[in-house]
Chain A
């Protein structure tokens, strides 16, 4: 599931606003700080235990030969990482995750923008359409995988029936998920179906923030539909687009359930997350698996850095 963390720019801004007037009530301020720490402590303690400690531990474990069921664990330095760089299966998994991310983000953005623009104009039944858009998002990913697997079936699947018997696009029935060429686009299509409405809702919220007088001014100046879209809508929507795209990219990079349910551990459809899970849970190679997860973490950190820089840049511009 996607969570939407507010942008860092909004955080610092909020911090400045929340600061009380200094020097007025010294003792009140001190007691307030103590109260704030008291309120914050349980959550921070909990996060330290369930998230921060395991994260640090993962980094430390990645320098050992830790194996499940083996009592002695020794420090092996960079061994896991040198092995990682030469591991063709790991490279394939990065490539699979990246291709999946690029395909899904591009299609989800384009389709999501079209849907957002359509739903943004007023028509009767608009509320119902918006409600329908939330349904795929609420669906359990594993269930959507099962639903589509049935539709992709080579013999009695509806897609083959439509493409071969009804539309005559294909000559013979295809095994969409079994064929290595079509497997990735087929999974991507499931993710695109499930997430596009969600992206559309995010972009719709952004569209509704654009004041209508900007459009009226453009109309008065004689700007056409297309000109208005590229000179007004798109630039003003940029903050929402950036947030939606980066959040989706972060989600797609760590994709696990769709691929796992559809393919299990098939080598050509092993994503980064599946590779980590396989190393740790199936082979018990906790040390090597941890090194793989650190690599995954670094790749995702690059995307988060891009996100932070972009939100700062767009906040500075507006």
Chain B
């Protein structure tokens, strides 16, 4: 809008001001529309989670609940499958992240700092692996997990999630290490530190912000994952959050009435910590997400 006003002639002062106000108002209207579009489904889920079951199925639709209830939240927390699934998701996500930090960060450091035969081959292989779909290895993983009696265990998921956690870790961390100055490593070598000591004692602590970023992205990836969890976990005591929420009310007598209230309450319970994490760490997440994408 500023370019248009700058072009206009000075003697037509009044219409410009009006135009400016109108364009500013339109601009904020656009922002309100964008925010409404993004946030309305969340409002709707929250609304439903506080309504008694009977009101949810009622028409005309209530845009603001007439009767408030927290019964759905009580139901959610007394549903063992759901409570258990939060623990399961946390175990799987944290384990996969820690393993990928342990073995992925060192690989990223090697790829960022050293030149050796096969370096580019390794880089391209890991790049390729991060792009190919998990579904293409579903059958083989299924057979392998059955053979090693890992089917229907959380170990299976932790191992399988490394297929996307490791490439992500290696990619983001190698660009992070490359951006770090070499002076500190050189100083450490001069002081007689070995290469491994330099990596472990100096580089890893300094790379903590980068590791935190990849850690968040990995945990979110594990938290989201549905295909492998659905295919490799059988008993409901092993379910992760997406499975538990998708199956809310599946074992209830009335299969025709979806327990929306309970499901939306579970949704909010799971979402609030995620939203808090996203809001606190938004800068890190954005930098992590865009690390590879904009360097073209």
Contact residues of A with B, CB < 8 Å?
A: 1-12, 14-15, 17-20, 31-33, 35-37, 39-40, 42-44, 46-47, 50-55, 57-58, 61, 66, 68, 115, 118, 121, 123, 125, 129-136, 138-151, 155-158, 161, 165, 193, 197-198, 201-202, 205-206, 209, 219, 222, 224-225, 228, 239-240, 242-244, 247, 250, 253-254, 256-257, 260-261, 272-273, 276-277, 280-281, 286, 289-290, 293-294, 296-297, 300, 304, 311, 314-315, 318
Contacts and interface: CB of A to CB of B under 8 A. Distances in A.
Contacts of B267: 143, 146-147
Nearest to B196: A35
Contacts of B132: 55, 297, 300
16 contacts: A3-B217, A6-B291, A42-B106, A50-B159, A50-B163, A57-B140, A131-B278, A135-B278, A142-B243, A146-B263, A147-B44, A219-B3, A254-B135, A276-B138, A294-B136, A296-B135
Task: List the 7 closest A-B pairs by CB distance, nearest first.
Answer: A239-B296, A43-B107, A54-B140, A36-B114, A54-B137, A39-B110, A254-B133
Contacts of A138: 220, 274-275, 277-278
B41 A277 contact: no
Contacts of B122: 40, 44
A6 B106 contact: no
Interface stretch (B12-20, B64-72, B224-232): B224-232
A58 B270 contact: no
B129 interface: yes
B286 A51 contact: no
Contacts of A281: 138, 142, 231
Contacts of B110: 35-37, 39-40
Given A50-B159, A260-B230, A198 B133 contact: no
B34 A118 contact: yes
B201 interface: no
B278 A156 contact: no
Contacts of A121: 27
A73 to B, nearest CB: 10
Contacts of A206: 294
Nearest to B232: A281
Chain B contact residues, majority secondary structure: helix
Q: Which of A1, A12, A53, A250 has the most CB of B within 10 A?
A: A1
Nearest to B189: A28
Give the residue among B48, B140, B241 with the most A Cβ atoms within 10 A: B140
A140 B116 contact: no
Contacts of A42: 102-103, 106-107
A314 B3 contact: no
B226 A257 contact: yes
Interface of B: 3-4, 6-7, 27-28, 30-31, 34-35, 37-39, 41-42, 44-45, 48, 56-61, 63, 102-104, 106-107, 109-117, 119-120, 122-144, 159-160, 162-164, 166-168, 170-171, 175, 178, 195-196, 199, 217, 220-221, 223-227, 230-231, 241-243, 245-246, 258, 260, 263-264, 267, 270-271, 274-275, 277-279, 282, 285-286, 289-296
Contacts of A143: 242, 245, 267, 270-271
Contacts of B162: 46-47, 50
A277 to B, nearest CB: 6
Contact of A289 (B139, B168, B225, B264): B139
B168 A256 contact: no
B290 A202 contact: yes
A201 to B, nearest CB: 6
Which one of B224, B246, B293 has the highest number of Cβ atoms from chain A below 10 Å of its Cβ?
B293
Contacts of B289: 2, 4, 198, 201-202
Contact of B61 (A68, A139, A144, A161): A161
Contacts of B143: 57, 61, 66, 68, 286
A133 B275 CA distance: 11
Contacts of A18: 112-115, 178
Contact of A156 (B6, B58, B241): B58
B1 to A, nearest CB: 8
Nearest to A124: B28
Contact of A150 (B39, B140, B264, B296): B264
Nearest to B169: A43
A141 B226 contact: yes
Given A5-B131, A53-B140, A290-B139, A244 B293 contact: yes
B41 A193 contact: yes
A132 B103 CA distance: 34
Contacts of B285: 134
